[in-house]
Amino acid sequence: MKKATIYTGSGDDGSTSLTHGTRVPKDHPRVEAYGTIDELNACIGLLCAALPAEQHPFIERIENNLLTIGCAIADEKNGSTAIDELETAALEQAIDALEASLPPMHKFILPGNDEAAARANMCRTVCRRAERRLVTLQRECPTAPRAAAYINRLSDYFFLLQRQLAEGVEKKWEKPCM
């Protein structure tokens, strides 16, 4: 019996396969988009490890949604909507609850001050990059139309989660923006 291996060698030429077997360069906008979403999911896993157990179910829901979006992006034939609008609405509810629990913000916040807050901020920045990659892809070939709204809300969620995790001890940027 032949032992299965993770390597195939088929990508050694700089190409990879999409869901239905179409070969594309590894830097194709579709691969960049789902690859950045995969990176975001890895960052979220690191964040989850620093969160209390009661927050894990919602974070795992986000992780599952990101895998669903990534699969839709990798599927060059389906053009799936990928994500149910109810998932974006759930994020909006979580954002509203976080925002209501936080004091108003009058200055930019510097990252850090708390490890979990810094991890949430890293998730926010990778999420913003994923959104940029998705916008680039959608300009070339419309795919997963509801995904953009979900990813946009997700970065807002991570920003507010960062603020909550900092527990009011936020480092503020003291210079004006202009």
Q: What is the 3-state secondary structure (H, E, C) of the chain?
A: CCCCCCCCCCCCCCEEECCCCCEEECCCHHHHHHHHHHHHHHHHHHHHCCCCHHHHHHHHHHHHHHHHHHHHHHCCCCCCCCCCHHHHHHHHHHHHHHHHHCCCCCCCEECCCCHHHHHHHHHHHHHHHHHHHHHHHHHHCCCCHHHHHHHHHHHHHHHHHHHHHCCCCCEECCCCCC
Q: Is position 21 within any domain? A: no
Residue 142 pLDDT exceeds 90: no
* Higher per-residue confidence, 7 vs 81: 7
Predicted confidence (pLDDT) per residue in 26-84, tens digit:
678 888 899 999 999 999 999 999 999 999 999 999 999 999 999 888 887 765 667 88
Q: Is position 8 within any domain? A: no
Tell me the residue range of the domain where 38 lies.
Answer: 26-167
**pLDDT on residue 27:** 75
**pLDDT on residue 83:** 83
Q: Is position 45 within any domain? A: yes
CATH number at residue 101: 1.20.1200.10
Residue 173 pLDDT exceeds 60: no
Entry pTM: 0.87
Q: Is position 137 within any domain? A: yes
Q: Is position 16 within any domain? A: no
Number of independent structural domains in the chain: 1
